[in-house]
Chains A and B, each alone.
Chain A
Amino acid sequence: MEQLKTIGRELAMGSQGGFGQSKEFLDLVKSIGEARSKAEEDRIVLREIESLKRRIVEPGIPKRKMKEYIIRLVYVEMLGHDASFGYIHAVKMTHDDNLVLKRTGYLAVTLFLNEDHDLIILIVNTIQKDLKSDNYLIVCAALNAVCKLINEETIPAVLPQVVELLGHSKEAVRKKAIMALHRFYHKSPSSVSHLLSNFRKKLCDSDPGVMGATLCPLFDLITNDANSYKDLVVSFVSILKQVAEHRLPKAYDYHQLPAPFIQIRLLKILALLGSGDKQASEHMYTVVGDIFRKCDSSSNIGNAVLYECICCVSSIHLNPKLLEAAADVIARFLKSDSHNLKYMGIDALGRLIKLSPEIAEQHQLAVIDCLEDPDDTLKRKTFELLYKMTKSSNVEVIVDRMIDYMISINDNHYKTEIASRCVELAEQFAPSNHWFIQTMNKVFEHAGDLVNIKVAHNLMRLIAEGFGEDDDTADSQLRSSAVESYLHIIGEPKLPSVFLQVICWVLGEYGTADGKFSASYITGKLCDVAESYSSDETVKGYAVTALMKIYAFEIAAGRKLDILPECQSLIEELSASHSTDLQQRAYELQAVIGLDVRAIGSIMPSDASCEDIEVDKSLSFLNGYVEKSLEKGAQPYIPENERFGMVNISNFRNQDQLEVTSHGLRFEAYELPKPSVQSRTPPISVASSTELVPVPEPSYYRETPQTAPVPSSSDTGPSGLKLRLDGVQKKWGKPTYSSSSASTSNSSSLKVVNGATQVDGVSSGNSKTHETSYDSRRPQVEISEEKQKLAASLFGGSSKTERRSSTGHKVAKASSHASEKFHTSKSTTIYSADNVVEKPNLVQPPPDLLDLGEPIVASIAPSVDPFRQLEGLLDSTQDPGTFGGTKAPDFMALYAETPAGGRSAVTNPSQISKGPNVKEALEKDALVRQMGVTPSGQNPNLFKDLFG
């Protein structure tokens, strides 16, 4: 009997492969591991989905099998494929009484469903039941699901149970109940508003884990309303003091630091409570100072706590002593070799700079090093700092740097951001009109289409209104310099549309204002623009209206109108355009030209763009006419919405209008297409003066491909016929980006790079920066003079540079040997730049472990098959000696990567037990090989312990 049982168990195990799943599933995982391309992987997964779809609905599936199917669904979805066909089975599994199955079900639904999914309603009942279970493990599983799945509507269904669980005997349950309540507070603050006192109570929980978890909701509550929690300042301070003094159980230590995650959270809370509150802050000074002193700055986590201290100091009421301590830490961060610490140092500097600007001056050279660092992350952080410390004395240098960087990057998201920052700084601090215009030109030239259209409108307004002072000569100077620079730029190829709009508007409005340029010169330029950007309706619209203005001003000035032949042909072409907007503009232009001087003076007054136009919305001047008509028996006017209402009410009395329009038959006519409506509305006078929004931007114009734009516009002969064909193509051509790619093909190489795939862009960019990184290190000593110049322009005059060196001395003296150590380490890196490069070689890890980020490695990587490539590792792994041997260096190499690692690994007691684990690793190896996965010497990554 016993024997039979064991045999049975062995049989069951045998059918299950090594990792507790069936052979079939392991084969799937393996074949995906072996897939050589994403396409192949997708094929395998799709096959798996088909088979799961078929089998999961078969009747009478054993529960254990079902559990595996669910896990396979999770796997499929993890790889990015839709497994929604199986969600319902995961939901069903949560209903099971067996905890193992239930837990699998809960895991699956928390991974599959978002809080707004329809199936959640089917789980709520089960959750309710499970929250009442005697088994705390079931309660835990249910609480996990609560945190992810319960939404605003279902909160009331589980809230009473969750509150009850706050008093559960198991600390794990109390902790999760706190987190669940916290989640409820996020989703719907009102639902738990009467329960907030529970968070305060749980702060005194006997279990430190529960206390730590309680800090999460308290942090949020205090963020929203600090004043109601001022009474807790003393408690938080005393908790932090106890934590820092190592009063918590040893198990909370992390890398020999007492509960650092709890410390960080407490510091965040104190920062909120002490902000702008001198009295509260005074309670904190001692404990924060203690942490500054005690914290181990050689480990990563220690530095994380120190950084949080700096954040706290910068937020609470100023204390000179703490400020000094914070400045010392920042100095240490900035002098460190670790990029991570430099980054944090720059960030911290940005926080302290508003309290004491001198700190930035002490570190100006370090800041400039970071600015020139090849690491984009660090560079961007430094730009953020510069942005914060910009003033009128250094705006030129900073904005110039920003623009240079903006030009060099491909990341549109960041490009947009930095462009808007440039604009903001330029508007705020511009030292001169000329500089301002030049800067804006650069921004528009290089990031034009990424810039918000509002920025363009702002610029037009600025040029029209001047800088606000009542100095007309300055304003007209600004305009002349704008006109001049635009005429200079206009010839360059491929300017962004937004920029061209600004140019056209300014040329139209002020091109001939100062008499420097003749009308025919300006109109010729405008025609060129309209011709070379003939695919851009908006720009053409701006150009035509600009033409109209110039002609009108000429006539008003009493000069003889001289219309260039190309202008004439452009006007003719546009008056046959299929765009109603352009057509209207062309006709308006022709009409305006025909008017006499007086009429033109009143519809097109020169330099009147800033004057307000009064729009008579009620159309009162028509009142007499209307009354007359009504007297004659005409129907009174009924507003549009009331007309709809009548129809709807008579037909569907009970339904609301929304439903009618979405489901029912439509009785009213369809709306007219938008663009034509808009272009019809503005009368001439409005079009000329509300220039800021003259051209509607119908979205579909963007999508039309321009197959042969130049011939269509230059060929005047059969233009009518051509245009028609054009229109047909536009309607039926390929949609979206095809047009932009076609039109950018002529452009400079920069644009083409832009169009390339992101991965390529990044990798090539990185490899380049990587090469330069070492080059730039070597000549560091020589270029320091140049740097000092830059520093002087950023941080102030040369006198300040001197001061920097003296204060630098002070810092070195004041701070302990630690900073001295940094000094020496810094100097060695300067002299032995080659050492830095050689470091990896000294360690000699297998090549795959130390990813140097070279593109070669990356490009090979996807084709590397981790499973098949690894044949022959058998011998090396059989011999425990060599296995251990290869392991040791890896371990070092891994930690060479991050500063904290090295220390933490050495000190971590769990690492010591790693030695005997070779046996375990070997067992694992054997198991894996049984399944057909063979490790090899080349890429033992998969078998490598994540920690050496």
Chain B
Amino acid sequence: MVWSDLLIKEHIVPIHFVLLVSRQGKVRLAKWYSPYTLRERSKVIRELSGIIPNRGPKLCNFVEWRGFRAVYRRYAGLYFCMCVDEGDNELELLDIIHHFVEILDRYFGSVCELDLIFNFHKAYYILDEILIAGEVQESNKRSVIRLVRAHDSLVETAKEQANPLSNMLPQATI
């Protein structure tokens, strides 16, 4: 198929994509490290969300899929899934997922699916601090959180500056 060629053509990226899908098949987060067209993305999501939630709890957390390996882990009603080439260390992948979830948990404070639904952009920021170009760049939870929080503090100050009312106040006093 054309699109599996696509992946082979692309330079080696250890993790091809990260997908967060709810049990109902709703996408909560999708990050693509290998190039996929929009159509291919929908196809990937459709296929995997058809396969993964239907697997029994005692089976492997790995699925062979189009010559790739999809490694997934379930947290409450949410499936975290990463796709790698065959022959990678799948157990390690499971823990990269868990690492991500632990950081989300620490950041949001008992993270739940709703946090991710409404704050998906923050989840993206966090993921960007853990994985770059499909590789783990940081395995230290503390430094990931520190960096994301540093950004957040800037958002707070920016908000205060950008507050429309506080800008209007000098004019009102005049």
Residues of A within 8 A of B (CB): 1, 4-5, 7-9, 11-12, 18-21, 26, 29, 32-33, 41, 62-64, 71, 74-75, 77-82, 98-100, 103-104, 107, 110-111, 114-116, 137, 140, 144, 147-148, 171-172, 175-176, 179, 182-183, 186-187, 208-209, 212-213, 216, 220, 249, 251-252, 254-255, 259-262, 264, 300-301, 303-304, 307-308, 311, 339-340, 342-344, 374-378, 380, 413-414, 417, 758-759, 762-763, 766, 770, 773, 836, 840, 848-853, 855, 858, 861-862, 864, 866, 890, 894, 896-898, 900-901, 904, 908, 910, 914, 917, 920-921, 924, 928, 933, 939, 941-947
CB pair B54 A766 closer than 8 Å:
yes
CB pair B62 A304 closer than 8 Å:
no
A182 CA to B57 CA in the complex, in Å? 38
Additional A-B contact list (7), CB under 8 Å, known A137-B151, A343-B90: A9-B163, A340-B91, A344-B90, A850-B57, A851-B74, A861-B53, A946-B111
Instruction: Evaluate whether A855 and B76 lie within 8 angstroms (CB atoms) in the complex, with A115-B35, A260-B95, A945-B110 already known.
Output: no
Chain B residues whose CB sits within 8 angstroms of the CB of A917 once the complex forms: 109-110
User: What are 9 A-B contacts with C-beta separation under 8 Å?
Assistant: A8-B165, A74-B120, A74-B121, A104-B121, A179-B135, A251-B143, A375-B59, A377-B62, A947-B111
CB pair A339 B58 closer than 8 Å:
yes
A259 CA to B114 CA in the complex, in Å? 31
Q: Within the complex, what minimum Cβ distance (angstroms) separates B48 from chain A?
A: 11
CB pair B101 A946 closer than 8 Å:
yes
Chain A residues whose CB sits within 8 angstroms of the CB of B160 once the complex forms: 9
Q: Within the complex, what minimum Cβ distance (angstroms) separates A929 from chain B?
A: 11
A597 CA to B99 CA in the complex, in Å? 81
CB pair B112 A414 closer than 8 Å:
no
CB pair B56 A852 closer than 8 Å:
yes
Q: Which among B22, B67, B114, B137 is the interface contact of A176 at CB below 8 angstroms?
A: B137
Closest 4 CB pairs of A and B: A8-B165, A941-B77, A304-B91, A853-B56
CB pair A898 B105 closer than 8 Å:
no
Most buried by B among A100, A308, A374: A100
CB pair A216 B135 closer than 8 Å:
yes
Chain B residues whose CB sits within 8 angstroms of the CB of A7 once the complex forms: 165
Chain A residues whose CB sits within 8 angstroms of the CB of B138 once the complex forms: 175, 209, 212-213
CB pair A182 B24 closer than 8 Å:
no
A187 (CB) vs chain B CBs: closest residue: B11
Q: Within the complex, what minimum Cβ distance (angstroms) separates A422 from chain B?
A: 17
B143 (CB) vs chain A CBs: closest residue: A209
CB pair A79 B27 closer than 8 Å:
yes
CB pair A343 B29 closer than 8 Å:
no
Residue B174 interfacial (CB < 8 Å): no
Chain B residues whose CB sits within 8 angstroms of the CB of A836 once the complex forms: 58
Q: Within the complex, what minimum Cβ distance (angstroms) separates A326 from chain B?
A: 15
CB pair A894 B139 closer than 8 Å:
no
Q: Which among B31, B59, B64, B165 is the interface contact of A414 at CB below 8 angstroms?
A: B64
CB pair A894 B75 closer than 8 Å:
yes
Instruction: Evaluate whether A140 and B147 lie within 8 angstroms (CB atoms) in the complex, with A851-B74, A853-B57 already known.
Output: yes
How many residue pairs, one in A and one in B, have C-beta atoms under 8 Å apart?
A: 308
Chain B residues whose CB sits within 8 angstroms of the CB of A758 once the complex forms: 47, 50
Chain B residues whose CB sits within 8 angstroms of the CB of A894 once the complex forms: 74-76
A908 (CB) vs chain B CBs: closest residue: B102
Residue B154 interfacial (CB < 8 Å): yes
Residues of B within 8 A of A (CB): 11-12, 22-27, 29-31, 35, 38, 41-42, 45, 47, 50-51, 53-64, 66-67, 73-78, 89-92, 94-96, 98-99, 101-102, 104-106, 109-115, 117-121, 124-125, 128, 132-133, 135-143, 147, 150-151, 154-155, 158, 160, 162-166, 169
Chain A residues whose CB sits within 8 angstroms of the CB of B61 once the complex forms: 340, 898
A176 CA to B138 CA in the complex, in Å? 10
Chain B residues whose CB sits within 8 angstroms of the CB of A924 once the complex forms: 112, 114-115
CB pair B121 A80 closer than 8 Å:
no
A894 CA to B98 CA in the complex, in Å? 12
CB pair A910 B102 closer than 8 Å:
yes
A5 CA to B161 CA in the complex, in Å? 12
CB pair A377 B64 closer than 8 Å:
yes
Chain A residues whose CB sits within 8 angstroms of the CB of B59 once the complex forms: 339, 374-375, 377-378, 853
Chain A residues whose CB sits within 8 angstroms of the CB of B121 once the complex forms: 71, 74, 104, 107
A376 CA to B69 CA in the complex, in Å? 13
Most buried by B among A62, A836, A924: A924
Most buried by A among B29, B61, B125, B141: B61
Chain A residues whose CB sits within 8 angstroms of the CB of B120 once the complex forms: 74-75, 78
CB pair B94 A340 closer than 8 Å:
yes
CB pair B150 A261 closer than 8 Å:
no
CB pair A252 B139 closer than 8 Å:
yes
Q: Within the complex, what minimum Cβ distance (angstroms) separates B135 from chain A?
A: 5
Instruction: Evaluate whether A851 and B23 lie within 8 angstroms (CB atoms) in the complex, with A80-B38, A300-B94, A924-B112 already known.
Output: yes
CB pair A182 B133 closer than 8 Å:
yes
A179 CA to B131 CA in the complex, in Å? 10
Chain A residues whose CB sits within 8 angstroms of the CB of B35 once the complex forms: 114-116
CB pair A8 B166 closer than 8 Å:
yes
Most buried by A among B41, B165, B166, B169: B165
A262 CA to B137 CA in the complex, in Å? 10
CB pair B101 A251 closer than 8 Å:
no
Instruction: Evaluate whether A259 and B139 lie within 8 angstroms (CB atoms) in the complex, with A147-B133, A182-B133, A942-B77 already known.
Output: yes
Q: Within the complex, what minimum Cβ distance (angstroms) separates B102 from chain A?
A: 7
CB pair B74 A942 closer than 8 Å:
no
Q: Within the complex, what minimum Cβ distance (angstroms) separates A13 from chain B?
A: 9
Q: Within the complex, what minimum Cβ distance (angstroms) separates B31 from chain A?
A: 7
Instruction: Evaluate whether A928 and B114 lie within 8 angstroms (CB atoms) in the complex, with A8-B163, A758-B50, A853-B54 already known.
Output: yes
Q: Within the complex, what minimum Cβ distance (angstroms) separates B142 from chain A?
A: 4
A78 CA to B101 CA in the complex, in Å? 20
